[in-house]
Amino acid sequence: MLLSNLEVVPHKKIVRHLGLVQGSTVRAKHAGRDIMAGLKNLVGGELKGYTELLQDAREEATGRMVEQANAIGANAVLNIRYATSSVASGASELFAYGTAVELED
């Protein structure tokens, strides 16, 4: 599966356009991490726990998008965009979407 946020893949032709595919997940860290992050907020710096949380979530969202693309017979997803929103305090939502296409070999 080829993933790209370009519109076109250089040197490859798009054979079929298969439409919008999307993947999303909502995740939360356990309460202990929330406390640690709160403490870390006092001194600033990177919140490792949350970086990890969002990283995991982004991977999962991408994975789900790819799963959708696979299911409809695509071999690439182009023009991928990511969006983050916090649905509830302490939980974050990761959303990935793009256009599934079939590229020529």
Partner 1 sequence: MEKKKPDLSNPEIPEGINASDEHPLKEFFWLLIGITVFAALVIGALSLSAGWLAQKIPFEYETQLADHFPDVESGDSSNEARIAERLQGIADRLSVEQNLPEGMHITVHYSDSDVVNAFATLGGNIVIFRGLIEALPSEDALAMVIAHEIAHIKHRHPIRALGRGVTIGISFAAIFGMSGSSAGDRVLGEIGLLTALSFSRTQERAADETALRALVNVYGHGNGAIELFDTFSELEQTRFSEPEVLRTHPQSLDRLAALNDQAEKKGWRMNGESLPMPQVLLEHK
Partner 2 sequence: MEWMLQYFEIFFALCLLIVGYGFGRLAEKRHYKSIFKREKKYQELLVFSLKTPPEGLTVTDSRLVTGSVVVSIDYFKKFVAGLRMLVGGRLRSYETLVDRGRREAVLRMKEQALLLHADSVINVKVETSSISKGRRNSIGSIEVCAYGTALKHA
Contacting positions for partner 2 (CB under 8 A):
7, 14, 17, 19-20, 22, 24-31, 33-34, 60, 78-79, 81, 83, 85-91, 93, 95, 97-99
Nearer to partner 1, 19 or 51 (CB): 19
Which residues within the stretch 63-82 sit at the binding site for partner 1 (CB under 8 A)?
64, 67-68, 71-73
Distance of CA 103 to the CA centre of its chain: 22
Nearer to partner 1, 2 or 63 (CB): 63
88 pairs with which residues across the strands?
91
| Distance set, CA 50 to CA 15, 57, 97, 100 (Å) | 40, 10, 22, 30
20 pairs with which residues across the strands?
99
Binding flag, residue 16, partner 1 (CB under 8 A)? yes
In the chain, the largest separation of any two C-alpha atoms, in whole Å, equals: 54
Nearer to partner 2, 43 or 89 (CB): 89
Q: What are phi and psi of 5, to 5 degrees?
A: -105, 20
User: Which span sits near partner 1 by CB under 8 A: 22-30, 39-47, 49-57, 78-86?
Assistant: 22-30
